[in-house]
Structure 1
Amino acid sequence: MAVREYKKTATIKAEQFDGSFEMMEKYLIQYAPFLSEIAPSSYSIRTLEGDMKFGVGDYIATGVDGEYWVIKKEIFEKTYVLVEG
């Protein structure tokens, strides 16, 4: 069988995490200050696959069923484009 290329066609809602208390409260984000000097990914969010670590600047995506997951900034900016309108 030949290798084929696929493209995502679904749209998502996403927001870049800025480290604010408002976003932490909105997404029930946990902060581990003792990790902040060792690793930039000192925040944690509960996803369907379990807790996911991430940092300021990464994106939080919301799925069609209201579930959340994190997309690293570099991956998000290479993979997604803003839907106008």
Structure 2
Amino acid sequence: MLHEYRKKTTIKAEQFDGSDEMMKKYGLKKFGWKGFIKVPNSKKRFRLDAPMIIEAGDWLIENDKAEVDVLSDEDFRRTYERCD
């Protein structure tokens, strides 16, 4: 019989808002009129498969290896459910 399951692990994530504070925290800089890119030698390590351009509204997810992954708002909401 087929059942539905939810991921059991919890994650720490925050939605990127494009603020100067978050750009500094994640080592990003403005790119174009609505995008942001990773600054070389930033303190945060992004996963190699993370997108090059990050937009306000994307989700920044830090894993247990202190690597940051990026998901669009649509993909994040499809994959995760808030539990706090």
Q: How high is the TM-score relative to the length of structure 1?
A: 0.72
Q: 2 CA distance for matches of 1:43 and 1:69?
A: 14
What is aligned with 2:19? 20
Q: 1:75 to 1:26 in 2, by over 3 A?
A: same
- Cα distance in 1 for partners of 2:23, 2:65 equals 20
Kindly provide the amino acid, as one letter, of the partner of residue 48 in structure 2: E
Give the partner amino acid of 2:24: E
Percentage of pairs with the same residue:
37
Normalising by structure 2, we get a TM-score of 0.73
TM superposition shift of 1:71: 0.6
Aligned residues: 74
1:20-59 superposed Cα distances (whole Å, 9 cap, x missing partner): 0000011111211xx22xxx4x112362306621201111
Q: Is the 8 A contact 1:52 1:70 kept in 2?
A: no
Question: What RMSD in Å do the two structures reach over aligned CA positions?
Answer: 2.1
Larger Rg: 1
Structure 1: state its 5+ residue gaps: 1-5
